[in-house]
Amino acid sequence: MLNITRKATYDDVAESNIRIGDQIKIPVKGFGVFMATAEKVTNDSVLFIFDDIVARKPMNETNTNEGGFKESQLYKWLQNTLLPAFPEHLRSMISELTIPTVGQIVGHSDEWDNEHFEGDRDEQLPLMKDRKHRIALFEDDFSWYWVQNATKKDWSSACFACVSSYGDAYYDSASNSVGVRPAFWLVKDKSRGPVPRKSDRFPWGFDFGMEDILRYCQNDVKITEESVLRMEILKKEIEKLEKYKQYDEATAETKVIMDSFVRAGFSDDQAFDMVKSMLITVLGGMR
């Protein structure tokens, strides 16, 4: 159960009952205690955005937006430093820790924004139509904060979009320290298996944050002797990938994928066949 703030009253409310405007209090180790507001609710998940700024960080060490937000040093900092500082029970419910987009905060009605920022498909969130929700504080002062969109290369390859202290979209150089206002999708309990996370580390392109899922599965999945034997077979296949440095973690990651298929309702045999097929395809393509 999450500790939900609803109309200034703390109640223990199931995730299935969360509504837009509800808040949760999040202690972030080493950074402080923050409130996050539910901005969008779907059948399976809830989008929360922090009300305020947790830190000021550059998007990149140098003035470049090459690769966009997902290839930025700020994105890596969110995954490797900020997310581990969240309470463990909350981490297991988060599908991705990120920051908002231009569309989510200010929408797409401004032609200058559309001409100068890389586009996104997000609509302005309902609460963000009110300027006070677009404004955020850092240490009790109004602060600018990053959003995901890079500036278009034909205009500048050195900047990313951000939101000013007035709640409007603007831009800043990637190496400048600007506020970080985290956002995350919380997966509702009824939809929850091992929560898949966005990650570019998995060699076959699947969106899994493997370290977190492995930790979740180790705590929550009963491994049978049969599944261990099957995994030994998979490990031997994966040994062929050892010459590729980026696949050092492939053995553990593959096991997690198989376990996730089982938790999703597939039998051990079905899960094994699915993972084996993926391995055969990958290995065949690398010869």
Report the predicted TM-score, pTM, of the whole model to 2 decimal places: 0.66
C-alpha 217/C-alpha 255 separation (Å) is 10
Provide mean pLDDT across the span 190-196: 51
**Structure token pair of residue 87:** 């309470």
**Structure token pair of residue 274:** 């699915």
What is the reported pLDDT for 189?
72
Q: Is the dihedral of CA 191, 195, 199, 203 positive or negative?
A: negative
Q: Is the dihedral of CA 78, 82, 87, 88 positive or negative?
A: positive
What is the reported pLDDT for 210?
43
| Pairing label, strands 141-143, 45-50 | unpaired
pLDDT in tens, 18-76: 999 999 999 999 999 999 999 999 999 999 999 999 999 999 999 999 999 999 999 99
pLDDT bin (cut points 50, 70, 90) of residue 287 is very low
- How large is the angle between the packed helices 268-286 and 250-263, nearest 10 degrees? 140
- How large is the angle between the packed helices 268-286 and 225-238, nearest 10 degrees? 0
What is the reported pLDDT for 14?
59
Among the residue ranges 129-138, 191-200, 250-259, the one predicted with the least confidence is: 191-200
pLDDT bin (cut points 50, 70, 90) of residue 17 is confident
pLDDT in tens, 127-142: 999 999 999 999 999 9
